[in-house]
Amino acid sequence: MVTMTRILLCILPTGLALSLGLGLATPLPGGGQEHAHGQAQSGSAPPTSIRITMDALHAAGGVPRGWRFTLPAGDATAGRQAFVDFKCYACHAIKGEQFPLKPGESVSAGPELTGMGSHHPAEYLAESIINPSAVLIEGPGYIGGDGRSIMPSYPDMTLTRLVNLVAYLKTLSAPEGAHTHESAREQVVGGYRVRLVYKKADAAGAHHGHGGAMPVGQPQGRLLVFLADPASGQPIPYVPVSAKLGVLGKPPQTVKLSPSLAQEGFHYGADLTMPPDTNRITLSIGPTSMQLGPGAPEGLKRAQTVAFDWK
């Protein structure tokens, strides 16, 4: 299994000045100002608003079904300036960028950030900044002697600059031919949060996370589907799952996925070679065979279909 690179940038203290609204201008060390609007924005499009009554919100356990934390779109140009102002370049290299050290500045060996925008969602990057010890990667340049992240604290970073910094990181796509994480897609449908991942086979013919080598000439990867309750995040078992691989001009290939438990956690999976011109994957899910009590999503009682564009 490929270990996701953990971004170690600029940590915010617990007492972050949240009173600075996202639309407010905030002072820069050089005396200028940055704005959360007026520039080309990057990252995910703003999610559709969820409308719900207070009674329904309380009945759902405090959050709507399907809710997840999201960041607003930021200003990538201002985020790059924040990267410079907080001297993040002194620890983190980015291929294609040039941030010359100023007199008196020293260099520390932090993780390279090239390609991080295509490796991680915006919310994961934000957590890496405000709470870098939430996930600790075992390796040099990550963990200090106290068992926590070695990332320093930047008490003068504002919420606006955090959002903009994440927007800048999301623009950092991996160069052509460089290593990237396996493609992943996610949707919410019929009481399921559905995450689709394809783990490519390596040069030896073994797919990541499932050590055995495949016969010579038949390298196979692994298609994984993670089904979870949208509200609690708990995995959902006892569900039939199959995948239809769509290729333009060719008959679709249908594959049955089996319940599996491995390094990735509980999932439904199948070993297969993904056709290089696959353009769409359609999953057939459910209905579940487990007993459902009061309050369980009605969608679990019916077969669901969800399609993912694949490029």
* C-alpha–C-alpha distance, residues 141 and 154, integer Å: 18
Provide the 3-class DSSP secondary structure of residue 78. helix
* C-alpha–C-alpha distance, residues 25 and 159, integer Å: 11
Six token digits for residue 228: 């979870």
* C-alpha–C-alpha distance, residues 250 and 300, integer Å: 32
* C-alpha–C-alpha distance, residues 251 and 242, integer Å: 16
Map out the domains of the chain as residue ranges.
26-170, 184-309
Same fold yes or no, 26-170 and 184-309: no
pLDDT at 46: 53
Q: CATH for 26-170?
A: 1.10.760.10
Q: Give 10-residue mean pLDDT values along the chain (311 residues).
A: 38 37 36 38 56 90 83 91 88 82 71 82 88 83 84 84 93 63 72 88 50 50 90 87 90 93 90 88 93 86 90 72
CA neighbor of 177 nearest in space, from 102, 114, 245: 114
Q: pTM of whole model > 0.85?
A: no
pLDDT at 184: 58
Q: 304-309 and 253-262 as β-strands: parallel, antiparallel, unpaired?
A: unpaired
* C-alpha–C-alpha distance, residues 36 and 44, integer Å: 15
For the chain, count helices (H), then strands (E): 5, 12
H-type alpha helices, 108-248: 116-119, 122-130, 159-170
Q: 265-272 and 278-285 as β-strands: parallel, antiparallel, unpaired?
A: unpaired
296 touches 287 (CB < 8 A):
no
* C-alpha–C-alpha distance, residues 189 and 58, integer Å: 22
Q: CATH for 184-309?
A: 2.60.40.2480
pLDDT at 44: 45
